[in-house]
A and B are shown apart, each in its own frame.
Chain A
Amino acid sequence: MSADTRQLEDAGLRDVHIPSGLRPYVAAMWSRRSYVWYVARSTLREKQMNSVLGNIWHLLNPLLQIAVYYVIFGVVLEVDRGVDNFITFLAIGTLAFTFCQRSTLSGAGSIVKNLGLIRAVEFPRAVLPFTSTLTETLSMLPSFLVIGVVAVVTGETPSPRWLLLIPVMGLLAIFNLGAALYAARATSVVRDVQQILPFVFRILLYASGVLFSAAEYAEGSYRWFFTLNPVYAFLTVARWTILGSDVSRSLLLSAGTWTVVVTVTGFLWFRAGEASYGRS
């Protein structure tokens, strides 16, 4: 640091090309918390107002989704062998998977859809993927009620263990935030990512045992793959909370580790691109 620079800094001036530290960045994000709430809530309200059934769709949509998958995979293809309560198994699988998919996809669009705002107003850009993730999380809340209802209707006895679904989904929401941060920057660099992501999720849908039990494969020679697949780990832990099905400690560890790693590195990687958003 030259003598001039030190003198300027002593006088209260700062170099605009040295990015502000992590602490001021997080502080600036914190001061935007009402923005995050406002956008998340108004986005949901807008969706309701644009449909005839409004709020009911939050419950109807997951129920229909479960029904369709049940008919195809349970009744037609009969892949429900080895699963005691296939409907609840499907309900947890599809809803948790949808939660992850929707959060990542809206994260991918969070920068490119808000270019106008980015160019007009200065604020920490990480606020945008945070907002999209919160919006998706709020819109998923009714689905978790659906899981409870489906479980009771299909004959599961409620137990205090069910409450553990809440922290598990909370952890998944944080994981989703990390995925959204990655997807947001990747899409802002190469728009094509938005086209590729649906295929990634299509592969994940089959590789994570969403629609059928993958326990057979997960115990076999592909065990490493399933243990390392965060989506499989989350689904298996979530199913355990309601169905009491088997869950290994390594899957729990996998879900926890992925969440920390993806969210922390996602945030840092996203911030490293801060100056590039909205420039193209």
Chain B
Amino acid sequence: MAAPEPPLGLAGLSVRITDLEVRYPVYEEITSTTHNRLGRFRQRRSVDVHAIKGITADFMTGQAIGIIGSNGSGKSTLLRTIAGLQPKSAGSVHVRGEAHLLGVNAALKSELSGFRNVMLGGLAMGLSHDEVHSKMDELVDFSGLGDAMGRPMRTYSSGMRARLTFSIATLRIPEILLIDEALAVGDRSFRAKSLEKIREIQREANSIVMVTHNLNEIRETCTRVLWLDQGRVVADGDVETVLESYESSEVAP
């Protein structure tokens, strides 16, 4: 029997990740170099990707955590696993409240206008008609889309789409907001606005976990950094300390 440990800071705990492992099968296509009568043929084989190899971490309420690491280090997988979208193989993830992934590349209905997409997204998130209406002006103002809100979304540039989706996502703030490269799109002024919005969310005592390659974004927003490499935590701590060692490791091959 385990000795009953004092519940250290459980009250302010927002996410607890315990010995998390994630594996998933992917199909790899291998082009055979041997030629037979049918010519080159392709074979497929299933390969197990071990994306997360044992991560343990506690995220506290009010923290904004930046996740950094090279491509394929497991950042996005970790985010999707916290959101419950990616099945785990071992360990566990516990969260307080709702953990929602904010994906900006996602489109809503491209044939509908911006206004209608806001209504659609808001209602799908469980807001009422009136609630979305009352937030509409503020949202249009925030998105900076102006007259474009009345035009079908298919006429939008990718930056405009990003603005709209980010704005819609902030209609209802979940307790834990997971952001995957959300701010990398959009122009500088909108990026500044989104950062401001994220700080506002933080003040409402929710926690934010963001994956980004933009270290300045992390410096401006985050209170803590988690550095992943090949599915493991390399460093976890305050922003400057972790970023410094990350940057120095990037310079060296």
Shortest C-beta distance, B126 to chain A (Å), equals: 4
A:9-25 near B, CB below 8 Å: 9, 11-17
Please tell me if the beta carbons of B128 and A13 are within 8 angstroms of each other in the complex: no
* 1/0 contact string of B180-194 vs chain A (CB within 8 Å): 000000000000000
Note all chain B residues with C-beta closer than 8 A to A114. 109
Write the chain A residue with the least CB distance to B97: A12
* 1/0 contact string of B98-114 vs chain A (CB within 8 Å): 11110101111110000
CB of A39 within 8 Å of the partner chain: yes
Note all chain A residues with C-beta closer than 8 A to B2. 2-4
* 1/0 contact string of B1-13 vs chain A (CB within 8 Å): 0101001001101
Shortest C-beta distance, A212 to chain B (Å), equals: 41
Please tell me if the beta carbons of A120 and B108 are within 8 angstroms of each other in the complex: yes
Please tell me if the beta carbons of A34 and B108 are within 8 angstroms of each other in the complex: no
Q: Given the complex of chains A and B, what is the CA–CA distance between A35 and B117 in angstroms? A: 12
Q: Given the complex of chains A and B, what is the CA–CA distance between A116 and B161 in angstroms? A: 12
Please tell me if the beta carbons of B123 and A35 are within 8 angstroms of each other in the complex: yes
Q: Given the complex of chains A and B, what is the CA–CA distance between A275 and B2 in angstroms? A: 34
Please tell me if the beta carbons of A35 and B120 are within 8 angstroms of each other in the complex: yes
Please tell me if the beta carbons of B103 and A38 are within 8 angstroms of each other in the complex: no
Chain A facing B: main interface SS: helix
Shortest C-beta distance, B249 to chain A (Å), equals: 31
CB of A121 within 8 Å of the partner chain: yes
Residues of B in contact with A, size category:
35 or more
CB of B78 within 8 Å of the partner chain: no
Note all chain A residues with C-beta closer than 8 A to B11. 11
Shortest C-beta distance, B220 to chain A (Å), equals: 25
Write the chain B residue with the least CB distance to A42: B116
* 1/0 contact string of A242-280 vs chain B (CB within 8 Å): 000000000000000000000000000000000100010
* 1/0 contact string of A104-124 vs chain B (CB within 8 Å): 000000000010110111110
Q: Given the complex of chains A and B, what is the CA–CA distance between A109 and B183 in angstroms? A: 32
Note all chain B residues with C-beta closer than 8 A to A32. 123-124, 126
CB of B230 within 8 Å of the partner chain: no
CB of A235 within 8 Å of the partner chain: no
Write the chain B residue with the least CB distance to A3: B2
Write the chain A residue with the least CB distance to B82: A16
Contacts between the two chains (Cβ within 8 Å), count: 104
Q: Given the complex of chains A and B, what is the CA–CA distance between A114 and B100 in angstroms? A: 18
Note all chain A residues with C-beta closer than 8 A to B129. 34, 38
Shortest C-beta distance, B73 to chain A (Å), equals: 21
Note all chain A residues with C-beta closer than 8 A to B121. 117, 120-121
Which of B120, B123, B124, B165 has most chain A Cβ within 10 Å?
Answer: B124
Please tell me if the beta carbons of B10 and A11 are within 8 angstroms of each other in the complex: yes
Shortest C-beta distance, A20 to chain B (Å), equals: 9
Note all chain A residues with C-beta closer than 8 A to B110. 116
Q: Given the complex of chains A and B, what is the CA–CA distance between A35 and B123 in angstroms? A: 5
CB of B96 within 8 Å of the partner chain: yes
Binds A, one of B86-94, B211-219, B239-247: B86-94
Please tell me if the beta carbons of B126 and A123 are within 8 angstroms of each other in the complex: yes
Q: Given the complex of chains A and B, what is the CA–CA distance between A116 and B16 in angstroms? A: 30
Please tell me if the beta carbons of B126 and A28 are within 8 angstroms of each other in the complex: yes
Shortest C-beta distance, B105 to chain A (Å), equals: 8
Please tell me if the beta carbons of A122 and B120 are within 8 angstroms of each other in the complex: no
Q: Which residues from chain B sit less than 8 Å from chain A, CB to CB?
A: 2, 4, 7, 10-11, 13, 16, 18, 81-85, 87-88, 92-96, 98-101, 103, 105-110, 116, 119-121, 123-126, 128-129, 165, 168-169, 174
Chain A to chain B contacts (Cβ below 8 Å), 6 pairs: A3-B4, A8-B16, A32-B124, A38-B119, A123-B125, A275-B84
Q: Which residues from chain A sit less than 8 Å from chain B, CB to CB?
A: 2-5, 7-9, 11-17, 28, 31-32, 34-35, 38-39, 42, 114, 116-117, 119-123, 127, 275, 279
